[in-house]
Structure 1
């Protein structure tokens, strides 16, 4: 296969400077406010996004070592699973997918809440968060649902 190259469309501005500061609780949003600052030429692409309450951010985890195929989820003590069964930032292609609350749009800047990305994280794409209702009815959360009540 040939390599794939993407150019960032913007970057994250968040209160998290170090990976150890980023919240990992899958059951609770981080509560961290911040911004998605897009390059000005992408502003027309935001038209219509203001009608959505949440936005999916696809980002490049620029500080991830990207070298593991197994992971130890922090909220599931003693459990080891394949990295593709987790949201671990340490994966073969360090791509993040996260959903945040959209508070406001000013020009090419999105003001968001619930960030779990480092300050300076390159943004690859944005999409409105609009899950298909039929999928929600069939949703199963695997090992995550079994460990949500654990303290960590």
Structure 2
């Protein structure tokens, strides 16, 4: 198979300078704000984006660690296959976050509910559309057994990276 190559369309500026202390998922960064800077040659593509309350950001996890095919996620003490987790260190370190869009000013998107490390290269933006993107989940794998730990992690602020 031929190599696949992507080029950033922007950069994400957040208050999180290192992976340590960065929220684990967007709900952990409910109060955290950031700015997505879209490069000038792509700004025209932002037309009509302000009509959406949430957007999906695809980005390169530029500071992720070495790839391991089994990992111990923060909600569990057991090893799980990488693809059954949301660990950022992946063969293709692509991050996906659904964030709240606050406003658009030129090529800058002001967002909230952020779980992204500062300086992440932006690969793509898509509108979040609940009718297309939201699904009733029937199974959540190993996480089902950790429901009590999920609630405890929220209460302790561990989703927020603090």
Q: TM-score, normalised by structure 2?
A: 0.84
Aligned pair count reads 150
Instruction: Please give the per-residue CA displacement for 1:6-40, whole angstroms capped at 9, x wherever unaligned.
Output: 110001110000111111157x3312100110101
Instruction: Please give the per-residue CA displacement for 1:70-122, whole angstroms capped at 9, x wherever unaligned.
Output: 1111022x122111111111111100011100000010110000111111000
Classify the secondary structure of the residue corresponding to 2:130: coil
- In structure 1, runs of 5+ residues without a counterpart are none
The alignment yields a C-alpha RMSD, in angstroms, of 1.9
What displacement does 1:68 show? Answer: 1.1
Classify the secondary structure of the residue corresponding to 2:136: helix
Cα separation, 1, equivalents of 2:24 and 2:92: 19
Cα separation, 1, equivalents of 2:147 and 2:38: 34
Q: Which residue in 2 is equivalent to 1:127?
A: 126
What displacement does 1:42 show? Answer: 1.1
Q: Which structure has greater helix proportion?
A: 2
Label 1:66 to 1:93 Cα distance change in 2 as closer, same or farther (>3 A): farther
Label 1:135 to 1:14 Cα distance change in 2 as closer, same or farther (>3 A): closer
* Aligned residues of 1:9 and 1:122 also touching (Cα < 8 A): yes
| 142-151 or 37-46: bigger deviation | 142-151
Cα separation, 2, equivalents of 1:142 and 1:82: 11
* Aligned residues of 1:59 and 1:124 also touching (Cα < 8 A): yes
Cα separation, 2, equivalents of 1:6 and 1:135: 27
Q: TM-score, normalised by structure 1?
A: 0.89
